[in-house]
Amino acid sequence: MDTWDDNDVRDAEQLAGPILIIGASGFVGANLFHSLRRIREDVFASSRNPGTSRRLRYARDEDLVCVDVTDSGSVDQALRRIRPETLFHLSAYGAYSWQADARSIHETNYIGLFNVLQTLRDIGCTAMVHAGSSSEYGLNCMRPDESSELIPNSDYAVSKVSCSFLIKYYGQVLELPCVHLRLYSVYGPWEERNRLVPTLVSSALKGQWPPLAERNISRDFVYVDDCTRAFTKAAVTICKTDPGLSVNIASGIKTTLEEVAETAKEVFALPSEPQFDSMPVRKWDLPDWYGNPRLALEKMGWQSKIGFREGLHLCARWEQGASDRLRFDEGPNKRKKISAVIACYKDEQAIPVMHQRLTDVFESSDYDYEIIFVNDGSPFGDETAIKDITAKDRHTIGISHSRNFGSQSAFLSGMEVASGDAVVLLDGDLQDPPEVIPDFIKKWEAGYNIIYGQRTNRVAPLHMRVFYKLFYRAFKLLSDIPVPVDAGDFSLMDRKAVDQMLKFPEKDAFIRGLRAWVGFRQVGIPYVRPERLFGRSTNRFLKNIWWAKKGIFSFSMKPLHLIQGLGLAMFFVSVGLSLFYLTAYFIDPPSVKGVTTVVLLVLGLGSVQLISLSVLGDYIGKITEEVKNRPRYIRRKVVFGGNEYDSVEALRRKSDRGEEAAGSGSVRAHS
């Protein structure tokens, strides 16, 4: 619970709605979201991946919006859908030591803000408040006011200075109601665990001191509720009266690290003395870093209410009362995630239908989700259809292969990218109905690791139905492992099973066989396989024969055993016949006859030999494929958010840039 009073609530009620908070997965953004959300219904939280944020764990799904501020299309789509009248922009990168990539800092902070302002200028808004930083003053950090010279001393500071001028231009010249708040050292619930105050409070509650830097380093501490009040105050005041203005959000009190320790010792009754200089000084740690809050009081009627001592008490109360799931990043995510991998080849018409049906299924579930379309070198418009969908739906990723490698390679390609706790495999022709997935999920929740679709019937010509029935039963009979009958690739596999399957080095993979080989708890779900909705099947009779051979020769040595047995049988038959004819020769010497018998024997034995050689050739062919050690597939491009990337690794790097504490992207680190 926050410390907002009745006046703060009235300010929140005056805000024009809807309200959108960009960067709500971060520390300040999350506190602002929860404070506003308890007062009104029209508040939305956005970040790159809000569903994975511990700070938004208990937010309603309908209040969460995926936005990548570095992607103008993503920003434009989200803002046009929500049409926010009040927008709080807190997305940032580079405020912490582990966020050091200079390009990501400028792209996220400056370009991200530019993308937001561009769309807001087009659609209009009542108020837009941007989170700046006291680091903009850089070396000129001793109680500067807003007219003081800016001497930034880091890429992060430079990017925020640039943002302040962008706000000034859009506010004063283009007349957009936007302002820029320079935040000082904000602390409070949900702050990153390795920061000074959370570390100090956590250690002090155990009667210990954390490592401390130089005693003379100073800060201007602002409790997070005072900071969030400043955002609402700015929206209802200076956005109307002084658009383009930059304002310090500071207490105006210089607090040295030594004074921090003295206050903590009194608040927590610590018996020992702190050990200063027990951790290195960071390059931005300065002895006189505090601000001048005069303009905030004059223009906004805002001032800091909560002193540092009271703030420590509030942090300690939250630390003691909050669960580990709220306090720590390593707590489980808000929801488990299911990844759907769809192998596509000549499925241009089916892809949008598949996407909509999958979305309907997942949106009605209690799970987060992602949909991965793998275009396996289709000569038709599959790639364009997939790209169009990714531009509209941030749950969707597209992969395009350099050529057609086959559905098994397409599935494995998608499985490597999938980040879900479970992975569902489907063919892109809609013959694997997404509506069966909820039945898969129920079995998964019951403890099964692999749930496969079992085709009790299929809409197909009689001869094809008979062929498939015979194949699955022959496969089961010949296989060296137990294989379920009538079970295709359509299945849900737990992350444990998926990870094991991805470790297999074999190149010519047969997934339904590998799925049976890994074991774990498995169960089948019966369903009727419908007819292909669009176009004609790419599996002709000879292709089905190829599939049958692929499955049998990948998971059975019995054909070799049968050849061996047939050879032994023929040997004993030939010995028996030799003895018979030798005996008959002495009893009744033959005349010249038996040519037919000889011809039939030669043809029969020749046929057996050719069949045996072909079986041996298939096994040798598989050995040859494995020895070549060629890749299972080659990815030509990856598409996310309508943008194209050369590799999964390139997309992952972009996702990892993240927003303030938004976590890593949804893409696994496979290239």
Q: Give the whole-angstrom CA distance, residue 439 versus residue 449.
A: 14
Residue 220's pLDDT band (cuts 50, 70, 90): very high
Helix (H), strand (E), coil (C) string for 13-72: HHCCCCEEEECCCCHHHHHHHHHHHCCCCCEEEEECCHHHCHHHCCCCHHHEEECCCCCH
In this structure, of 56-70, 194-208, 348-362, the range with the lowest mean pLDDT score is 56-70
- The strand pairing partners of 246, in sequence order, are 180
DSSP code for 142? B
pTM score, whole prediction = 0.59
- The strand pairing partners of 343, in sequence order, are 374, 427
Q: Give the whole-angstrom CA distance, residue 551 versus residue 317.
A: 62
Q: Dmax over Cα atoms in the chain, in whole Å?
A: 130
Q: Report the pLDDT value the prediction gives residue 63, as an integer from 0 to 100.
A: 86
Residue 497's alpha-carbon distances to 94, 448, 449, 585, in angstroms, are 37, 11, 7, 66
212: left (phi over 0), alpha (psi -120 to 50) or beta: beta
The residues, ordered by sequence, that sit 6+ positions from 299 with a Cβ below 8 Å of its Cβ are: 237, 238, 241, 242, 245, 247
Residue 590's alpha-carbon distances to 348, 594, 601, in angstroms, are 72, 9, 18
Lookup: tokens for 258: 């030594």
Helix then strand count (H, E) for the chain reads 24, 20
Q: How many residues does the chain have?
A: 671
Question: Does the pLDDT of residue 84 top 90, yes or no?
Answer: yes
Q: Give the whole-angstrom CA distance, residue 427 versus residue 406.
A: 12
Instruction: Provide DSSP, 509-533.
Output: --HHHHHHHT-SSEEEEEEEEPPPS
Question: Does the pLDDT of residue 334 top 50, yes or no?
Answer: no
The CA dihedral of 536, 341, 393, 37, to the nearest 10 degrees, is 140
Question: Does the pLDDT of residue 371 top 80, yes or no?
Answer: yes
Question: Does the pLDDT of residue 545 top 70, yes or no?
Answer: no
Lookup: tokens for 92: 């940032």
Q: Give the whole-angstrom CA distance, residue 266 versus residue 261.
A: 9
Do domains 6-187+221-251+290-305 and 337-548 share one topology? The answer is no
Most confident of 153-162, 191-200, 400-409, 448-457: 153-162
Mean pLDDT of the 212-232 span: 92
Mean pLDDT of the 588-615 span: 64
Question: Does the pLDDT of residue 651 top 50, yes or no?
Answer: yes
Lookup: tokens for 89: 């922009």
pLDDT in tens, 509-543: 778 778 888 888 888 888 888 876 665 655 555 55
What CATH number has the domain spanning 337-548?
Answer: 3.90.550.10
> Which overall architecture, per CATH, does domain 6-187+221-251+290-305 show?
3-Layer(aba) Sandwich (3.40)
Show me where the domains of the chain are located: 6-187+221-251+290-305, 337-548, 559-628
